[in-house]
Amino acid sequence: MAATPHTDYSTEFSGRTALVTGAASGIGLATARRLGAGGANVVIADHNPEGAEKAVAALKGTGIEAAAVQVDVTRPESVEAAVRSSVDMFGALHLAVNNAGVSGEIAPTGEYDIDVYNRVMRTNLDGVFHSMRYELPAIEAAGAGGAIVNVSSIMGSVAAAGSSAYVAAKHGVVGLTKAAAAEYAPKGIRINAVGPGFIETPLLGEMDPAAHAALAGLHPAGRLGRAEEVAEMIVFLLSERASFVYGSYHLVDGAYTAL
């Protein structure tokens, strides 16, 4: 029998622990904040330990139970240690958001730097595999279902010239999500992906105003997205409100891919 969805969003994750990678800033931090506001214990996992600790302090200042772990998602042993620490700190792992990623360079495929290509793939695709490899056994061991959301991109369904590594990795995340979802659906563990469009960040805020406006204009909504808007989709997919949503890929892109 399907679980009854919560209507009180301030308690829907009470008693649950969520691990979020790349959570020191941006979409990861917005997601961690929203999960914590829903009652979850939140583990901020990031390659930058100072940034992770700063994020934890900010969350704790609003009453959210949070802890920081350093992680390098390109290294399986680092991810394994982060998952183990999450379980040790809070007793179990129930939810995960695999958000850590890098952008790479802009260059034609025939000229793309091989070392940069490998770094993008190791972080954006291998990192998601490494994360699920250790998250899934921990979530299964908790014995209460659970859910994972992998952060892909609009580039998981379309392409951008000069971004072959990023596009390949993000398409791969969608395929990996679907394969894992089919495997773990019988165990009640839901795995889905999201595809953000271009999101407002401090870096984009420093763009030339004309370039910023042109980028926003690629979205029929007429603007860039906000990290909090992506976080809402992620949190929905982690919640029991999405109890029959398995192996899907949800775009949060202001209609960027609709054209």
List active site positions: 166
Give the total residue count for the chain. 259
The radius of gyration computed from the CA coordinates of the chain, to the nearest angstrom, equals 18
Contacts of 9 (CB under 8 A, 6+ apart): 37, 38
Q: Judge contact between 213 and 156, C-beta under 8 A.
A: no
Query: Which among 210, 235, 211 has a CA at the least distance from the CA of 149?
Result: 235
Query: Which among 36, 43, 33, 31 has a CA at the least distance from the CA of 12?
Result: 36
Q: Judge contact between 32 and 59, C-beta under 8 A.
A: yes
Residues 129 and 38: their CA atoms lie apart, in Å, by 27
For residue 100, what are its two tokens? Answer: 């850590």
